């Protein structure tokens, strides 16, 4: 098929500008009552060994994501090789770190399409299933965090108690999972309905294209129909977030914060949900804001909390970014090509890439 990659590079656009504005506001709020010199002093006193372990554990979550992705994404039922999916993962998260508007969310399926037989729409849908599984696991870990205590039971956020917020997120995630299960278990009915709606509302050519895209999206959710694959996805999702939570917990020791394992589960979940907010590249400002807010629940001093947030963020930013840059070089792709190409992919069967696939 012809190359789907357009020549244009990434554009900032309104989402990017909005994200940068939100990051600036949240960063100002986070630092408004903090003496920067005290933050620098706290970071200079960091304990090197636990800090290094924190970075290693946080970086380990990216290979774990790739392992999980292999259970989610198939091409005509075929298990895809690990290496190209790793490149797609590393490049995607690197783009999120370097560019506004989170282009990595589309770069991952674009690179997977280029390097494997996967369809763009199927890869995109598999990432949607990832997010759904992440939400379910994070809600479960949030429940454990609330059981673990460490903060007042009547603590409120935006007028709602923490337990109420957990229940709301859990109900929303449960509804989304139920809808996904209905779609993948009755795909013929879903496709007939989609076809009828598309042909009633769209011209013939666009309707055919829309139905093809929906078919690819359903294919990306296929793992939900297979008990063995579903359980493996769930298992690796739990492993992923436990390893990530442990990185936050070890980080407490690095910065001399006395907080329990439940606080690590809490800060992880608050940040994971919080970074869904539009932000500047690398979630700057948003990460620090939600980290400080989560640690405030456990009465951690604001300066110590901000030092921890900045130190953790900086330490975990560079390894995956450098790995992603290496993957770009290894697959002979450019930053502009991937960021722009993700926006222009046509959602058909992927072409064979020229990079490393073994």
- Transcribe 301-351 into DSSP letters: -HHHHHHHHHHHHHHHHHHHHHHHHHHHHHTT--HHHHHHHHHH---SBPP
Contact 146, 263 (CB under 8 A): no
Predicted confidence (pLDDT) per residue in 178-232, tens digit: 766 666 666 666 667 777 787 777 777 776 766 666 666 666 566 667 778 888 9
Mean pLDDT score, 11-21: 80
Handedness of CA 168, 172, 178, 181 (dihedral sign): negative
Please tell me the distance from the alpha carbon of residue 229 to that of residue 45, in angstroms, as a whole number. Answer: 45
Instruction: Please state the domain count of the chain.
Output: 1
**pLDDT given at position 102:** 85
What pLDDT, on the 0 to 100 scale, is given for residue 226?
74
Kindly tell me if the per-residue pLDDT of 160 is higher than 70.
Answer: no
* Beta-strand relationship, 160-161 and 156-157: antiparallel
pLDDT for residue 33 is more than 60: yes
In a domain, 237, yes or no: yes
Kindly give, in sequence order, each residue whose CB lies less than 8 Å from that of residue 351, ignoring residues fewer than 6 positions away. Answer: 1, 3, 4, 113, 114
Query: Domain for residue 4, yes or no?
Result: no
Q: Which domain holds residue 289?
A: 13-344
Give the model's pLDDT for residue 352: 41
Cα of first residue to Cα of last residue in the chain, in angstroms, is 23
> Do 351 and 119 form a contact (C-beta atoms < 8 A)?
no
pLDDT of res. 76: 77
- 105 to each of 124, 179, 196, 267, 319, how far by Cα in Å? 8, 22, 30, 23, 19
Residue (of 129, 88, 173, 53) closest to 345 by Cα position: 88
CA separation for the pair 95, 106 (Å, rounded)? 10
Please indicate, yes or no, if residue 3 is contained in any of the structural domains.
no
Q: Is the pLDDT of residue 344 over 70?
A: no
Reported confidence tier of residue 103, pLDDT bands at 50, 70, 90: confident
Is residue 354 scored above 60 in pLDDT?
no
Instruction: State residue 339's pLDDT score.
Output: 80
Per-residue pLDDT at 201: 78
Q: Which of 35-39, 119-123, 168-172, 323-327 has the lowest mean pLDDT?
A: 168-172
Whole-angstrom CA distances from 156 to 138, 152, 202, 295 are 19, 9, 47, 14
Separation in Å, CA 205 to CA 119, 198, 208, 209, 212? 20, 10, 5, 6, 11
pLDDT of 126 reads 86
Residue at 108 is within a domain? yes
What's the mean pLDDT in 248-260? Answer: 95
**Chain-centre distance for alpha carbon 286:** 14
Asked whether residue 213 is domain-assigned, the answer is yes
In a domain, 299, yes or no: yes
Per-residue pLDDT band for 11 (boundaries 50, 70, 90) equals low
Does the residue 324 lie in any domain? yes
Q: What is the mean pLDDT of the chain?
A: 83
Which helix (H) or strand (E) element contains residue 45?
Answer: none
Please give the pLDDT value at position 306.
96
**Residue matched to tokens 């995607």:** 92
β-pair type (74-75, 156-157)? unpaired
- pLDDT number for residue 3: 43
CA–CA dist 122, 220 (Å, integer): 4
- Residue 113 is predicted with a pLDDT of 92
Residue 46 lies in a domain: yes
Q: How far apart are CA 22 and CA 20, in angstroms?
A: 5
* Closest to 316 in 3D by CA, of 244, 211, 261, 218: 244
Bigger pLDDT: 75 vs 68: 68
């Amino acid at each position: 098929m012809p190359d789907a990659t357009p020549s244009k590079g990434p554009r900032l656009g309104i989402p990017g500008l909005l994200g940068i504005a939100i990051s600036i506001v949240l960063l100002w709020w986070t630092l408004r009552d903090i003496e920067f010199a005290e933050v620098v002093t706290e970071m200079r006193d960091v304990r090197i060994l636990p800090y290094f372990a924190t970075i290693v554990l946080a970086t380990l979550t990216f290979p774990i994501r790739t392992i999980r992705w292999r259970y989610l994404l198939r091409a005509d039922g075929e298990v895809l090789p690990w290496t190209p999916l790793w490149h797609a993962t590393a490049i995607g998260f690197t783009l999120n770190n370097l560019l506004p508007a989170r282009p990595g969310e589309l770069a991952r399926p674009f690179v997977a399409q280029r390097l494997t037989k996967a369809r763009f729409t199927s890869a995109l849908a598999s990432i949607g299933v990832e997010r759904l599984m992440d939400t379910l696991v994070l809600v479960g870990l949030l429940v454990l965090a609330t059981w673990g205590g460490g903060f007042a039971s009547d603590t409120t956020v935006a007028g709602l108690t923490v337990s109420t917020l957990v229940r709301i997120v859990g109900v929303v995630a449960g509804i989304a999972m139920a809808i996904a299960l209905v779609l993948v278990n009755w795909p013929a009915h879903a496709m007939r309905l989609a076809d009828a709606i598309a042909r009633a509302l769209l011209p013939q050519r666009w309707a055919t294209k829309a139905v093809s895209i929906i078919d690819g999206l359903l294919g990306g959710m296929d793992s939900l129909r297979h008990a063995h694959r579903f359980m493996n996805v769930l298992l690796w999702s739990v492993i992923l977030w436990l390893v990530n939570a442990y990185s936050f917990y070890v980080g407490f020791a690095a910065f001399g914060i006395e907080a329990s394992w439940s606080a690590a589960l809490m800060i992880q979940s608050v940040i994971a949900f919080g970074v869904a907010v539009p932000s500047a590249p690398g979630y700057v400002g948003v990460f620090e804001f939600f980290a400080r807010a989560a640690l405030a629940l456990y009465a951690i001093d604001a300066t110590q909390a901000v030092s921890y947030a900045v130190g953790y963020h900086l330490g975990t930013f560079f390894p995956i970014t450098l790995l992603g840059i290496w993957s770009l070089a290894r697959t002979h792709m450019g930053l502009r090509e991937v960021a722009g190409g993700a926006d222009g992919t046509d959602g058909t069967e992927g072409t064979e890439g020229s990079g490393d696939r073994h």
